[in-house]
Amino acid sequence: MLDFFSENREILIAILVKIGIVASLASLLTRSQGFRKILFLESRSIREKLLFISFWSFPLCVGVIIRISGTSQGQINPFAAFDLSFEGTFVAGILGGNLIGAIVGALFGVVALLYWEWGALPLYVGLGLFSGMLRNLCSRKEEIWNFSPFVFLNLIGFLRSKNLLRKSTWQLIFFFSIISFELLRQALGQVLNLHTLFYFPANNLIILMLILVASVCSIGVTLKIWNNTRLELKVAEQGLMVVKARLDALANQINPHFLFNTLNSISSLIRTDPRKARAIVIKLSHILRKLLRGHDNFIPLKEELEFIDNYLDIEVIRFGNDKLRIEKKIQNGVLSYMIPSMVLQPIIENSIKHGISPKIEGGKIKISAVQNKEMICIQIEDNGLGMSSDNLKSIFNSGIGVSNIVERLKIAYQSEFSFTVNSVLGKGTVTKIEIPLRKP
C-alpha cells in the first residue's frame, strides 16, 4: 500500500487538489451578483451568454496556462490540478447549451493549442456540443441542478427499484456521459501522448477509477454549490413575496378604515351643510381615483404628502380654516426617499379625531421631515387634548391605526426603525417615526 501511494503520489495529490480548486472557484463565483443573475436564467440574451462565457472561462483558461507553465513536459505534478478544461466544458454545455459549451471548449482548446497541444481543441468542442445536446434533450431542467457527485453510490438502489430508476434516468445519463468522455480522453491521450493532449495518465485500474470519480465529483460539486445558492435565492424571493403579501393585507386594512370614517363625515354634513358635503365628495373622488389605480408598498415621501394634502383638504372643509391649521416643515432632499405608503394618514387622522376635534377652539398639526445621518425622521405634532399615560399605552394594542403602522414597519425594516408616541394631557401629542433611507 505504501508503495502504491509513493509511486502515484503526484497524481493522487493533483486529483484531490483539483476537486478543492473547482469547489473554491464555484463558491467564489456565486459571490458575484452579476454572475448569479445570469447563471440561473433558463434563456439568455447574446450579452448574457457572453457574460456567462467570460465569467466561467477566464479563470479556467488561466488554470490551463498555470498547468502548462508549471508542469514539466510529459510529467504530472500538482500544477496539473489547475487544468479544469474537461469539467469546465461539460458544466458550460449542460448549463448554457450547445453554443456556450462549444465556445468555452474552443477557448480551452485554443489556449492549449498555443502550446502545441492540438488534440484539446476538437475534443473539448465536441464535449461542449455533446453536453449542450444533453441539456436540450432533458425536458426537466431541474434534473440538471439535482445532479449529485455521489450519484454512483446509489447505483445499486437504482437497479433494485424500478420507480427510483425511472425518476433518476437523467442522473444516470449525466453520470455515464461524464465517465464515457473521460474514458475517451484517456484513450485519445494514450494514442496522442501528453505532448498533444493533456490527461491524467492511469498506470493501473485503481488510479483510473479515482480519475473517473474525481471528474464526476468536480462537476457534481460545482452544480451542487450553485444549486444551493439557487435554492437560497428562491427562499429569499418567496420570503419577499410573503412580506409583500402581508404589507398588502395591512394596507388594505387602512383603506376601508379611512373611507368609512370619511363617508361618516359626509353623511353628517349632508343635512347640516350640503355645500361642504359636496366639496368633500369631490376631494374624496380624487383620493379614490388614486387608491383604485392600485398602490405600491413603498412610495416617495413626496407622493405620501400629496395624498395627505388631499385628506387634509377634506378635514379643513369639515372643521374650517380657523379651527384646523396645518404647518409643514420638510427638509430639502428628503422628498425622494421611499417610505411605506399610507403610513402617515392614520396618525394625522388620530390627531384630528382624538386631539383637535374635541377642542372648541381647534388646533394645529405640524408635519416635519428631516434626514438624520442614514435615517429619515418624520414627526407629526398636534396641540390637541393629549393623552394620559394609561391611554398612551393602550393605543398600540387597540384599533387599526397605530398597531397597523407598527406592524408594517416591523415587516419592512425588522428592528431598524423607531416609532415613538409622546403625549401630555392637555398639551398635545408628538409621534415620531425614524426609518432607514431608501432610494427609489
Of the ranges 83-92, 144-153, 392-401, the best mean pLDDT one = 83-92
Q: Which of 363 and 392 is assigned the larger pLDDT?
A: 363
DSSP of 353-416, one letter per residue? Answer: IIIITT-TT-EEEEEEEEEETTEEEEEEEE-S----HHHHHHTTTSSSHHHHHHHHHHHHHTTS
**Of all helices (H) and strands (E), which one includes residue 298?**
strand 298-300
Rg (CA), the chain: 34
Q: Per residue in 333-367, pLDDT tens?
A: 899 999 888 788 888 888 888 888 888 788 889 99
pLDDT digits (tens, 9 = 90+) for 224-272: 999 888 888 877 776 666 656 555 655 555 456 667 767 777 777 777 7
Q: Cα separation of 222 and 24, whole Å? A: 9
Set out the domains of the chain in order of their start, with CATH numbers. Answer: 2-235 (no CATH), 273-436 (3.30.565.10)
296-322: pLDDT as tens digits = 678 889 988 888 888 888 777 777 777
What mean pLDDT comes out for the span 205-216?
89
Q: Please answer whether residues 322 and 283 qualify as being in contact, where contact means their C-beta atoms are separated by less than 8 angstroms.
A: no
180-191 pLDDT, tens digit per residue, is: 999 999 888 888
The more confident residue out of 435 and 258 is 435
Element spanning 1, H or E:
none
Please state, rounded to an integer, the average pLDDT across all residues of the chain.
Answer: 82
Residues near 236 by beta carbon (within 8 Å), at least 6 away in sequence: none
Residue 359: all three cell numbers together: 377642542
At 423, is the secondary structure helix, strand, or coil?
strand
pLDDT at position 52, please? 92
81 DSSP 8-state letter: G
- Dihedral sign from CA coordinates of 335, 341, 342, 348: negative
pLDDT band at 146 (very low <50, low <70, confident <90, very high): confident
Q: CB-based contacts of 325: which residues, under 8 Å, 6+ apart?
A: 362, 363, 364, 365
Per-residue CA distances from 167 to 11, 131, 133, 199, 369 (Å): 36, 20, 20, 33, 60
In the chain, the N- to C-terminal Cα span, in Å, equals 66
Per-residue three-class SS string for 37-65:
HHHCCCCCCHHHHHHHHHHHHHHHHHHHH
Question: Long-range pairs for 277-286 at CB < 8 Å and ≥24 separation?
Answer: 279/317, 280/314, 280/317, 280/318, 283/310, 283/313, 283/314, 283/317, 284/314, 286/310
DSSP string of 124-144, one letter each residue: HHHHHHHHHHHHHH-S-THHH
Cβ neighbours for 62, distance < 8 A, ≥ 6 positions apart: 82
Q: Which residues touch 59 (CB under 8 Å, ≥6 apart)?
A: 25
Cβ atoms of residues 78 and 13 within 8 Å? yes
Pairing relationship of beta strands 428-436 and 324-330 according to DSSP bridges: unpaired
Q: What is the pLDDT of residue 414?
A: 83
